[in-house]
Chain A
C-alpha cells in the first residue's frame, strides 16, 4: 500500500517548485541569480523540474567580480549551453571602469561589497522585477528573517523591520514601478539538505567542491587559494594541500578546508560531522557581527 506523505526532502522540493512557479506567474521579467555555487545550481535544477517539459523560463544572471575560479565560469557556460537559457552578466570590472564604484584599498580589500552596485545596476538595466537567489535561512542570522518573496525598494534596499508578513502559501509579489523582489525558493533548506539532495538527484557540481590538490596560503585560519589576484604578505608561504571548498565566492575571499572527501557521498558524510558553519571560511562575513545584515540592507544577495 502506498503511504500518502512526503519525506522532508520531497517536501522541500515541492515547496521550492511552488515558489518558482509563483515567481513565474506573478512577475514579468524574473531571472535566476547564478554564481556557479551549489545553491544556485540547485535552484536551477529545481526550476528545470518546475517547468518540465517546457524550458526554464528564466534567464540566468551572473554578477561577475572578475575574481573568479576559472572552474566556476566554465561550469556556468556549460550549464547555459545545456539548458538553452539566456545569460546576463553584470560586470564589476565594468562598474569600476565606468566609475560607478571604486576598488577597495588596504590589506583585506575585496570586490565583495562592490557587487551590490553592479547587481542593482544590472537589475535596473534589464528591467528585472524579480531576482531568484539561492539564499538559505540557516546560513546567517540576518538571512533567518528573510521572506520567500522579499521586497526591495526603489534603491534596492531591504528593510528587515518592515517586511510584509508571509502567511500560509499566499505570496504577495506586488510592487511599484522601479521596485523589485528577491525570491528565495530554498529558504528552508540547510547545507545538509542541499548536499543530500544533490547526491540523491546526482546533480553535477563544480569540481571545486570535491577534495583536490591546490596551492594555498593560510590566512585567518582558512586556506585561501593561490591566484593571480593574491597578494602575499611577508609572513605567508604558498603550500600545496588537499582541500575542498564548502562555498564558492570570489577566489580572493573563499577559504578551503582540508579534506579527503572526493565523492558526493564522502561530502555528505563529512558535512554531517562538521562542527563549523559553511560561511565560517568566508572573510566577507567575518568583518563584523552584522556584516551580512548591513550588506543585505544595501541590496546584497
Chain B
C-alpha cells in the first residue's frame, strides 16, 4: 500500500438493525478482509448459540453487553478498515429518534453519510430524519443505499421510484453531493463487489464510491483560522525567547511572512516561523497541528485566534445557532452555560428559542419553547465576551459550539452557528 498518498475518510451510518445497517457494515468489513479469524470465530460461535445459520454479519458491530443483549446500538461505535486506496473510519450510530443526539455526534466529523433505505418500504421517517441531520451537520457527501434489493427481485423500477421519492423530499434540504446505489448487504451485491443481478445499474459499488469521493476540498482552505490551544515557552538553552503558539489549523493556509491579526485584541503582526513537530516548514494548512511564532511580542493566550489580516471572522456576542439538545434534563431558562468554541471558553445564555424543528416533517414550530433531549431548535445566544465567529455552512471547525452545564459538568447541547 502506498501510504504516502492515501487519505482518511470518515463516514457515518445511521439506522436500525431492520434496515440492515449492521449487516452492511459487517459485509464491508468482511469483504474488504478487515475481520480477523478470532473475531470471526467468536461471532460464529455466538451465532450458533442464538440458533442462527452461518455467520450473522450484524454481530461484528455489537459492542457493549447491553447492546448485545438487546440487539440494538445505543452509543456511537467506531469501526476501522483500510483498502489499498484509503483508510476508513465508520461512526456507527443508532437510527431511532431517541438517539438523534448520537446521530448528530457521529455526523459532526463525517466526510460522508451513508443513508440506508429498505427497498420494500422506500423512504420512511427515519430516512428523512437521517438525511436532515446529514444536511444540518453539513456532511459534504451523501450516499443513499437502497438495501435488500434481493427481496424486490432486483427491480430497476423499484429502485428508480425510491430515488425519485428521495429527490423530492431532499430538494428542501441543503445537500451538495448525493449518489444512489442499489445493494443487498446480505448477499454482497454492489457493496464491495459489483452485483451480477443488476446489470441495469451503471454506477459503482459502494466501496468504490467511498474510495474515490473527492474529499480534499471538504476542509475550508480559503479562510485562514488558527485558534491558539496553548503557548509553548521552552525555558531551555537556545530557546530563551521562544514563544510558540500551538494549535491545529482550523481552516485555510498559512505561510511564513503572512500578515496576521490576533483576535479579539486586533493587534497585527507577521508570521516569523512555523513548526510542524520538530521540523520548520514554510507553509502549513488545515488540519495540521503546528506551532507558530510572530515577529512582534504580543500578549496571546489560549482562546485567541490568529487570522489573516485581509480575511477575518465576525466578532460578536449575540448570534443565532441551530442547537441540538443532548442531555436528559431539558433546557433551563436563564441558566448561564459554559460555551466552548474552538479553544475559547465563555459564558452563554439562551435569549430566545426562535423555532423548534420537527426532524420528521421539517416543519418549524414557533410556539413550542421547550427544549428536551434530541430536540433541534434555532436559538438566540448571548455570550459574556465576543467570539470569533464563522457560519457553520462556511466552516465546520469555527462554526460549531457546545454548551456545558457547570452544575453537572456535562455537555448538554451542540450548536451550529447560522
Contacts and interface: CB of A to CB of B under 8 A. Distances in A.
A206 interface: no
B74 interface: yes
A53 to B, nearest CB: 5
B104 A167 contact: yes
Contacts of B36: 274-277, 280
Given A7-B6, A141-B63, A163 B75 contact: yes
Contact of B66 (A17, A24, A161): A161
14 contacts: A11-B8, A24-B230, A53-B232, A142-B63, A165-B105, A167-B400, A167-B414, A168-B108, A168-B397, A170-B400, A174-B409, A175-B409, A193-B87, A290-B65
Interface stretch (A44-52, A68-76, A253-261): A44-52
Contacts of A142: 63-64
A2 B80 CA distance: 29
A188 B216 contact: no
B401 interface: yes
Contacts of B244: 53-54
Contacts of B401: 170
Interface residues of A, number: 64
A293 B65 contact: yes
A200 to B, nearest CB: 8
A160 B75 contact: yes
B79 interface: yes
Contacts of B104: 165, 167
Residue of A169, A187, A290 with highest tally of chain B CB at under 10 A: A169
B109 A168 contact: yes
Contacts of B5: 7
Interface of B: 1, 3-8, 36-39, 42, 46, 62-66, 74-80, 82, 86-87, 89, 101-102, 104-105, 108-109, 215-216, 221, 229-230, 232-236, 239, 242, 244, 246-248, 253, 275, 277-278, 283, 285, 287-289, 291, 302, 326, 338, 340-341, 343, 396-397, 400-402, 404, 406, 409-411, 414
Interface string A15-56: 101100110110000000000000000000000111111110
A7 B4 contact: yes
A8 B80 contact: no
A50 B277 CA distance: 6
Nearest to A196: B3
Contacts of B87: 8, 190, 193
A6 B82 contact: no
A289 interface: yes
Interface of A: 2-15, 17-18, 21-22, 24-25, 48-55, 137-138, 141-142, 144-145, 160-161, 163-170, 172, 174-176, 187-188, 190, 192-193, 196, 200, 272, 274-277, 280, 289-290, 293
Contacts of A276: 36-38
Residue of A52, A142, A193, A289 with highest tally of chain B CB at under 10 A: A52
A289 B42 contact: yes
Contacts of A12: 8
A52 B108 contact: no
B75 A145 contact: yes
A144 B77 contact: yes
**3 A-B pairs closest in CB distance:** A49-B277, A8-B8, A17-B289
A3 B38 contact: no
A144 B93 CA distance: 12
Given A11-B287, A168-B109, A175-B409, A188 B404 contact: no
Contacts of A10: 288
A197 B101 CA distance: 34
Contacts of A200: 3
A187 B109 CA distance: 15
B287 A188 contact: no
Nearest to A21: B229
Contacts of A272: 1
A196 B285 CA distance: 23
Contact of A18 (B74, B109, B229, B232): B229
B238 to A, nearest CB: 8
Residue of B1, B3, B39, B409 with highest tally of chain A CB at under 10 A: B3
A184 to B, nearest CB: 11
A43 to B, nearest CB: 14
A196 B87 CA distance: 13
A193 B34 CA distance: 14
Contact of A138 (B80, B234, B236, B278): B80
Nearest to B287: A14
Contacts of A24: 230
Contact of B236 (A2, A55, A144): A55
